[in-house]
Chains A and B, each alone.
Chain A
Amino acid sequence: MDKPVGDIGMEREENVTSLALLASFLRLGASSFGGGMAGWTHREIVERRGWLTDDEFLKTLTVAQIMPGANPVNLAVYIGLKLRGVAGACIALFGMVLPAFGVILTMSVVYQQLRSHPEAQAVLRGLACVGIASSLTMGIKTARRLKGHALPIAMAVAVFLMVGVMRWSLVAVVAGAIPVSVAATFWIEREKARG
């Protein structure tokens, strides 16, 4: 588990120790309040440690965003993989998730203690409202990127109806929708290129 597996095409493995990697990602995991994670990670990995160049970091960022999984966690895992192979990926995942996991478990315990109090119930209801609002805002901001094209909008509406209203299996709907959506996008892009 603690030997780098294979060379991922970066020859800097000797200068990155497991301990330094763990320290870096624990620090990042602990500072993952809200957004701006990519900025924090860039500061730590590129500027402070010099483990990746700007260009390498940007490439990893794209991959982390496109693949399934939480983006900050993906970014960490992929950087860990590049620096120290599979062991590095495991260290990065552990370091990145552990601080937030600790906080959320603490909140769980507090919730169990306070659950019966009407005040705590009211506060949670209020927080749920803001949570829903922030999800919806994120959805609206992502929807704006569809730029009013009929096909992507129809796709988004269809996915919403199937998963949200008809309650079909989310995994099955996504497995079916992604090829269709990617093929449609491919076609739209090609038409655009032809003018």
Chain B
Amino acid sequence: MGDDKLLNLILLCIPLSLVSFGGGQTIVASLQHQTVDILHLLSGPQFTDLYAISRAAPGPGTLIVALIGWEVSGLWGAVLATLAIFIPSSILLCILGSYWQRHRHSAWAIAAEKGLAPVAVGLIFAGVFAVGQSARFTPLELATSLGAIAVLLTTKTGPYPLLGVVGVSYFLLSLAGMA
């Protein structure tokens, strides 16, 4: 059973690797939808937990697949899911990279560079939407998200100080029985 789940996860990661423009943020929608609703590898709240850990951890957000792999079948799951998400895109890069470099000033190459942005924007918002739906936020959590967006957009603060502040606040709120 665990092997079937792991195989499903690997078969999910390989094609996603080839469309993960800009990294993990663009493929979150599909990861959530597939692992929770279609393949039933995780529950909704579990996915939200793993998403939170992957966003708080250093390194690429793509490593959320390592967390999912670990949940599905331990160390092997984590290793294989990680290989499945990085190797296909790396192979593509090695094959197409030098070609791209030679032709980067052609009109089509410039159009390709600019044309990717709207697709990436749509995917990032779809990812936020998917995680938000699966997390079923309370009003307090919604307010936290909105506050964090305001801080990130209007100040030069990075996400790490915010993660620290919010993490500690929620811990204290939980001790006080309020969150």
Contacts and interface: CB of A to CB of B under 8 A. Distances in A.
Interface of A: 8-9, 29, 32-35, 59-60, 62-74, 77-78, 81, 86, 89, 93, 97, 99-101, 103-105, 107-108, 111, 115, 118-119, 121-140, 142-143, 145-146, 152-153, 155-160, 162-165, 167, 169-171, 174-175, 177-178, 181-186, 189-190
B60 A73 contact: yes
A68 B112 contact: no
A174 B123 contact: yes
Contact of A175 (B19, B20, B118, B124): B19
A170 B16 contact: yes
Q: Which 5 A-B pairs have the closest CB atoms?
A: A100-B59, A159-B122, A131-B55, A164-B126, A126-B170
Interface string B62-106: 110011001100010010001000110110111011101100100
Given A74-B93, A171-B16, A32 B59 contact: yes
Question: What bracket does the count of chain B residues touching chain A fall in?
Answer: 35 or more
Given A105-B66, A156-B118, A70 B24 contact: yes
Nearest to B150: A133
19 contacts: A67-B97, A70-B60, A73-B60, A74-B93, A77-B93, A104-B54, A104-B57, A108-B53, A119-B171, A124-B48, A125-B179, A127-B55, A127-B167, A128-B131, A131-B54, A133-B145, A138-B124, A163-B123, A164-B127
B1 interface: no
B89 A107 contact: no
User: Which of B49, B122, B148, B166 is packed against the most chain A CB atoms within 10 Å?
Assistant: B122
User: Which of B58, B78, B107, B171 is packed against the most chain A CB atoms within 10 Å?
Assistant: B58
B163 interface: yes
A77 B122 CA distance: 27
A29 B82 CA distance: 15
Contact of B108 (A119, A143, A153, A182): A182
A123 B171 contact: yes
B89 A68 contact: yes
A70 B20 contact: yes
B15 interface: yes
A56 to B, nearest CB: 10
Contacts of A131: 51-52, 54-56, 131, 159
A174 B93 contact: no
A180 B37 CA distance: 29
B115 interface: yes
B120 interface: yes
Contact of B111 (A99, A134, A186): A186
Nearest to B59: A100
Nearest to A119: B174
Given A29-B59, A63-B101, A69-B23, A160 B54 contact: no
Contact of B97 (A63, A101, A163): A63
B28 interface: yes
User: Which of A8, A72, A189 is packed against the most chain B CB atoms within 10 Å?
Assistant: A189
